[in-house]
Amino acid sequence: MHHVADWKKEKVAELEDLTNSHEIIGIVNLADIPAKQLQTMRKSLGDNAILKMSRKNFIKIALENSDKEEVEGLADYLEGQPAMVFTKMNPFKLFKILEDSKTEAPAKAGSIAPADIVVPAGDTSFPPGPILGELQQVGIPAKIDKGSIVVTDDAKIVDEGEEIPKAVADILTKLEIHPMEVGIDLLAVCEGDTIYTADVLAIDEEETIQTLANAYQSAINLSVYAGILNSKSAPLLIQKAARDALNLAINANILTSETTDKILSKAYAQMLAVAKLLSSEAIDDELNEKLNSQAAAAPVAVEDNTEEPEEEEEEEEDAAESAAAGLGALFG
């Protein structure tokens, strides 16, 4: 076996020790990141993570020699200019921090468009000159208007996933349109026995939190209507039982301190409704005056509506908001 340089052994040993001593191990791609921007991105991680660049074969050996067998699968995600990241943050929070640290960058010839590239209509601030022909040559409708070159309509000049031609890259740079994004790409993360890939980590936080909050709210509603007692449904079920008891007492004309006023109001309203059906000769002046001064009052609602009272809705909303706040901590 040929001799292996000591510095190579030390590099592999360092990566191996870091892998064994950290809960979360990730593989990132640092390709095409200028040194200045990479330093800025390192600072965004602060003391929360350690970023180590190394050769692919060094990383593979460190993963194979690690005490954690599950991290070997990370070797399948070594792309571009790979590096390892070690942290205690959960994978979703790590992914979010790295995504937020990305910055806009000008297009380069041969780069793949990450999304449709559209040049918006409007004044370019360029005076009349050769650039007018350059714009038209790459498919951007432009004309001279009031002493400057104007793009007349929005123009999509590169589709998502297509290679950016040199002429297009040059004109985008002149227009100060930076369609590319430079940053640390998190390719995969190992936590425990699970490896999370970028497509799993790239979630819409607000949509996910709202989905979970809606599920939480639906579970509470189900437990209330099914009569399942738990710490969240019990207060709502007691309120519902109290409301049902009150409605039953009003319907049955059972006089209590809580129903008397409502029963009298119901009787009064029913009396006015009946009086309204009679001819004016059959009622006295006082009653006729009451009928003329106000519309007959509607009977007190005694049916159990499918909607919960406002108090219940407010309590459920507060509970859902509390749950959503807790879920938000998952993403940092």
CATH of the domain at 191: 3.30.70.1730
Asked if 87 and 43 count as a contact pair (C-beta separation under 8 A), the reply is no
> Is residue 198 in a domain?
yes
Q: Are residues 72 and 198 in the same domain?
A: yes
Q: Give the C-alpha separation, 113 to 297, whole Å.
A: 68
Q: Are residues 42 and 145 in the same domain?
A: no
Q: Are residues 128 and 55 in the same domain?
A: no
Closest CA to 114 of 31, 13, 198, 182: 182
Q: Are residues 236 and 175 in the same domain?
A: no
* Helix%, strand%, coil% for the chain, nearest 5: 50, 15, 35
> Is residue 111 in a domain?
no
Q: Give the C-alpha separation, 59 to 170, whole Å.
A: 38
Residue at token pair 């000159």: 129
What is the per-residue pLDDT across 239-263, written as a single tens digit (0 to 9) for each?
988 999 999 998 898 988 888 998 9
3-class SS at 35?
helix
- Looking at per-residue pLDDT, the higher value among 279 and 327 belongs to 279
Domain harbouring 151, CATH code: 3.90.105.20
Asked if 18 and 50 count as a contact pair (C-beta separation under 8 A), the reply is yes
> Is residue 255 in a domain?
yes
pLDDT band at 182 (very low <50, low <70, confident <90, very high): confident
- Pick left, alpha or beta for residue 293 (phi over 0 → left; psi -120 to 50 → alpha; otherwise beta): alpha
Q: Are residues 139 and 197 in the same domain?
A: no
State the alpha helices, DSSP H only, in the chain: 6-21, 35-45, 56-65, 91-100, 131-137, 166-174, 198-201, 205-225, 233-251, 260-277, 285-293, 310-328
> Is residue 283 in a domain?
yes
Tell me the CA end-to-end span of the chain in Å, nearest whole number: 49
3-class SS at 74?
helix
Q: Are residues 155 and 279 in the same domain?
A: no
Q: Are residues 125 and 34 in the same domain?
A: no
> Is residue 107 in a domain?
no
Q: Are residues 51 and 191 in the same domain?
A: yes
Q: Are residues 136 and 98 in the same domain?
A: no
Q: What is the mean pLDDT of the chain?
A: 84
Q: Are residues 132 and 237 in the same domain?
A: no
Average pLDDT over residues 315-326: 51
Q: Are residues 280 and 266 in the same domain?
A: yes
Which of 202, 235, 270 terminates a domain? The answer is 202
Q: What is the pTM of this model?
A: 0.57
pLDDT band at 304 (very low <50, low <70, confident <90, very high): very low
Q: Give the C-alpha separation, 130 to 149, whole Å.
A: 10
> Is residue 274 in a domain?
yes
> Is residue 58 in a domain?
yes
> Is residue 109 in a domain?
no
Q: Are residues 228 and 197 in the same domain?
A: no
Total number of domains constituting the chain: 3
In the predicted model, is pLDDT for residue 146 greater than 90?
no
Pairing type for strands 155-158 and 117-119 reads antiparallel
Q: Give the C-alpha separation, 150 to 123, whole Å.
A: 4
The domain in which residue 140 lies consists of: 117-180
